[in-house]
Amino acid sequence: MPKKIVIALGGNALGNNLEEQRKAVKITAKAIADLAEEGHQVIVSHGNGPQVGMIHLAMSEYHKIDPKTSEPELAVSVAMSQGYIGNDLEAALREELLNRGINKPVATLITQVLVDPSDPAFSKPTKPIGSFMTKEEADVLIAKGENVVEDAGRGYRRVVASPKPVDIAEIESIRALCDAGQIVITCGGGGIPVVKKGNALCGVPAVIDKDFASAKLAQLLNADCLIILTAVEKVAINFNKPDQKWLSEISVEEAKKYIEEGHFAPGSMLPKVQAAIQFAESNKKGYALITLLEKAKDAIDGKSGTIIK
């Protein structure tokens, strides 16, 4: 049966620079096209780790050269990364579909994701952004109220919050495009982080985890399946230990138990499993899948990946 699928692409699906990205998206497009060819309705989200860092660094360096220019804003850097990643991914996917005789529109949507200004993450920023600085450069930012920490003796780096997404500003537009039969690329890099002030949406210095944003997207679209792509075919407990065990299907309760037992690494598999739980709990008829990019079609057919429901 055709399904409505939100697929969250990881960094390995996009490469680490412009040249790598243009090669990687051609491979990525094949995996997405496989799902579309099966008749599934596909919505694509993606990370932006190296890309947003390059943009933000470039803008920072330009500001140093010409102080009259505006200081870089992280929300702006995220928006720019959505545009240029979406452009490459959209072009590769459209070409792959046409090569298969599938005339299906593909649209990239610059997406704002709302966060709660009272989210506890804002009181404890942890995500490093930008380049390394000297202590003197760090002191200038600290005097401006920025959060800066020393990074393992390599210098100082600015850190920002990673709040949870609470809503997606463009969700009705995304839904309309999906209902019109288009493949939508959205919530890139977790979305542009914004807070609501009256009728205005204002960008904030934060980084939204793309897996949590993808789970929120799947929830709001009432998707049948959320696929979170990673570097391994399945989730494992006791990973890299003699008693390692690959998991094919687990319940939400089992997943929570494994988290409590410390089986999943923070910043790696942990947020993926947490996002999978979030979606599975929000949609009792749906389920989450964690697997490799090239195994996405097999996972939907029940031949690969880890199902959490």
Q: For this structure, is 210 an active site residue?
A: yes
Is there a contact between 79 and 193 (Cβ–Cβ < 8 Å)? no
Contact predicate 215/286, CB 8 Å: no
* Known catalytic residue at 12: yes
Q: Has 127 been annotated as catalytic?
A: yes
Nearest to 131 by CA among 78, 70, 62: 62
- Cβ neighbours of residue 112 closer than 8 Å, sequence gap 6 or more: 168, 169, 170, 191, 192, 194, 201
Q: Is 309 a catalytic residue?
A: no
Greatest pairwise CA separation for the chain in angstroms = 61
Spot the catalytic one: 30, 86, 127, 130: 127
Q: Where are the alpha helices (DSSP H) in the chain?
A: 18-37, 49-65, 74-99, 135-143, 171-179, 210-220, 252-260, 269-282, 296-300
Write b or e for each residue in 182-198: b if 16 or more Cβ atoms lie within 10 A of its Cβ, otherwise e: bbbbbbbbbbbbbbeee
Per the annotation, the verdict on 245 as an active-site residue is no
Helix, strand, coil percentages for the chain (3-state, nearest 5): 45, 25, 35
Q: From the candidates 164, 216, 272, 295, give the one annotated as an active-site residue.
A: 272
Q: Which of 11, 130, 190, 286 is catalytic?
A: 11
Both structure tokens of 81: 């990364």
Kindly tell me the burial class for residue 280, based on how many C-beta atoms sit within 10 Å of its own C-beta (0-12, 13-18, 19 or more). Answer: buried
Catalytic site residue from 30, 47, 188, 210:
210
Contact 14, 21 (CB under 8 A): yes
Structure tokens at 120: 């506890």
Question: How many angstroms separate the CA atoms of 25 and 17, rounded?
Answer: 12
Q: Give bridge partners of residue 150 from the DSSP assignment.
A: 156
Q: Contact at 8 Å (CB) between 94 and 26? A: no
Residues designated catalytic:
11-12, 127, 210, 272
